[in-house]
Amino acid sequence: MRSRFRSDRRLTVRMTVTLFLLGLLYVGFVAALIVLLRSWVLVVVLVGAMFVAQFWFSDRIAMFAMRGRVVEREEYPELHAVVDRLCAIADMPKPVVAVSEMDMPNAFATGRNPNHAVVCVTTGLLRRLEPSELEGVLAHELSHVAHKDVAVITIASFLGVVAGLIVRFAFYSGLFGGRKDQNTAAVLAAVIGVSVAVYALSFLLIRALSRYRELAADRAAAQLTGRPSALASALTKVSGDIARIPTKDLRTAQAFNAFYFTPASGREPGLERYFSTHPTLQQRLDQLGRISAELGEAQAPGKAG
């Protein structure tokens, strides 16, 4: 089923290129592990099992990590009403609706396809936003589902997860300690070296795609609702409030920054914006300002709220 969210050819091209490059990296990574570990069965079984687990259970993993739970219409009627209305306008299947009992104002979408998707908002977001602002945020998250970039990010993240786990396992399990012959030490060093390189490359590719997909979701949401100023107001409000959330409360959330409406960093990035999962707030507001002008909206996004 094709939704009424405006298609984004540039996003599609970027997703295709990213998956292609990560696919090449994936093949090279597995081949290197097979050569180094001399057991293709072990490598293929372990990597394949992890891929299936991450792809099929990514929504459950994210929900568990962020303390999200599925909520029915009777419990959150207004939230369900907004999702129902947007799905009807967009002509797309309604995702599972969930709420996370967190004060941090944020939202995320996850799931392997539009028919198996979850849209989750925090109680902190529901408490802070006006209805029109909440509609803009939910439209943003639904566009991720409609464009299928949630599934792409989930798949793309897999290689970095595997490489990162290998490095962590090596360092924290004391693989370099004890008595080992030189050949074993050399193999372990090579495995870690390959894993670090793969993690770094996949990290950069995923961050570049993530920044663009956030801008694409902002565009799609603003065009679907016809109210870019409401989305701009939500962005400004949420970003400002996250900056006041204690850092210790943001640490768990930061592992899922690529899925969030706004990053759980608590501050605008400096030079690290080139490695960030999201564009800067100003970039997003500037884009919404241009869309507002195109739509002839009375209130400029920068002055919304």
Q: What is the CA 20 to chain-centroid distance, rounded?
A: 19
| 297 appears as a binding residue in the annotation | no
| 75 appears as a binding residue in the annotation | no
Catalytic annotation, pick one of 133, 135, 141, 297: 141
Residue entry with tokens 């960093």: 265
Residue entry with tokens 């999201």: 278
Is 72 annotated as catalytic? no
SS3 of residue 121 by DSSP: strand
On whether the CB atoms of residues 117 and 110 are closer than 8 A, the answer is yes
Pull the structure tokens for residue 22: 């990560």
Measured torsion, CA atoms of residues 290, 10, 109, 235, in degrees rounded to the nearest 10: -20
| 214 appears as a binding residue in the annotation | yes
On whether the CB atoms of residues 62 and 108 are closer than 8 A, the answer is yes
Helix (H) or strand (E) holding 130: none
Calpha distance 28→249 (Å, rounded): 38
Active site residues: 141
Q: Which residues are annotated as a binding site for Zn(2+)?
A: 140, 144, 214
Q: Which residues are annotated as a binding site?
A: 140, 144, 214
